[in-house]
């Protein structure tokens, strides 16, 4: 046996000597891999339970234009983008709806005058037919949507 075959204990490679430090890293990585999807799901679920989202869906389901272009029943995409500004009392929503005829991208702008006051949809539009399709405005001024002035 040569001197190179046996390594003294102080010259062992980094990982085999310090495996106990991998445990917290593994736990943190597992928490990240499990927690991130759960957090994203909870965020989307909180948007779907908001009064602004429910009001938007009620207006969409009652619209003759939505019935014509998209069809009923309506399903929504898993991903719903929502921006809630509590200081200004605004809630902007963007999501995709699917119906028996087609699908459409929805943009909704809701306003609440004060905390505890009911939400009102001040602008609601949906686009059908992709980039070359058309946008249908159900509520608000189609030439001046609230997000264009930001």
Is residue 99 a contact partner of residue 73, using CB atoms and an 8 Å limit?
A: yes
Q: What is the pLDDT of residues 122-139, one digit of tens each?
A: 999 999 987 778 899 999
Same domain, yes or no: 123 and 76: yes
Same domain, yes or no: 121 and 66: yes
Residue 7 has pLDDT above 60, yes or no: no
How many other C-beta atoms are found inside a 10 Å radius of the C-beta of residue 70?
22
- Mean pLDDT along residues 91-101: 95
What pLDDT score was predicted for residue 73?
95
What pLDDT score was predicted for residue 149?
58
Cα–Cα distance between 27 and 142 in angstroms, integer? 51
Number of domains observed in the structure of the chain = 2
Residue 14 has pLDDT above 70, yes or no: no
Q: How far apart are the first and last CA of the chain?
A: 77
Domain span at 97:
51-149
Strand partners, 108: 93, 124
* Structure-block tokens of residue 100: 């028996």
Is the pTM higher than 0.75? no
Same domain, yes or no: 39 and 108: no
Is residue 91 a contact partner of residue 52, using CB atoms and an 8 Å limit?
A: yes
- Confidence class of residue 72 from pLDDT cuts 50, 70 and 90? very high
Same domain, yes or no: 119 and 67: yes
What pLDDT score was predicted for residue 57?
96
Residue 17 has pLDDT above 80, yes or no: no
Share of the chain above pLDDT 70, in %: 82
Residue 36's H or E segment, with its range, is helix 22-48
What pLDDT score was predicted for residue 99?
95
Question: Hey, is 112 helix, strand or coil?
Answer: coil
**Number of helices (H), then strands (E), in the chain:** 4, 6
* Main-chain dihedrals φ then ψ at residue 144, nearest 5 degrees: -140, 70
Domain annotation covers residue 3 = no
Same domain, yes or no: 116 and 85: yes
Residue 8 has pLDDT above 70, yes or no: no
* Main-chain dihedrals φ then ψ at residue 49, nearest 5 degrees: -90, 0
| 71 or 88: which leads in pLDDT | 71
CA dist 136 → 24, 42, 55, 108 (Å): 53, 31, 18, 12
Same domain, yes or no: 36 and 102: no
């Amino acid at each position: 046996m040569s001197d190179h075959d046996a390594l003294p204990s102080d010259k062992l490679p980094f990982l085999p000597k310090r495996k106990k430090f991998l445990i917290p890293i593994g736990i943190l990585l597992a928490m990240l891999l499990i927690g991130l999807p759960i957090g994203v799901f909870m965020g989307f679920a909180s948007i779907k339970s908001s009064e602004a989202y429910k009001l938007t869906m009620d207006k969409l389901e009652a619209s003759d234009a939505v019935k014509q272009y998209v069809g009923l029943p309506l399903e929504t995409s898993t991903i719903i983008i929502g921006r809630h500004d509590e200081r200004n009392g605004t809630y902007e929503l963007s999501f995709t709806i699917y119906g028996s005829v087609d699908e459409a991208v929805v943009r909704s702008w809701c306003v609440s005058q004060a905390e505890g006051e009911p939400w009102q949809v001040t602008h609601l539009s949906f686009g059908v037919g992709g980039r070359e399709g058309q946008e249908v405005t159900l509520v608000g001024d189609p030439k001046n949507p609230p997000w264009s002035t930001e």
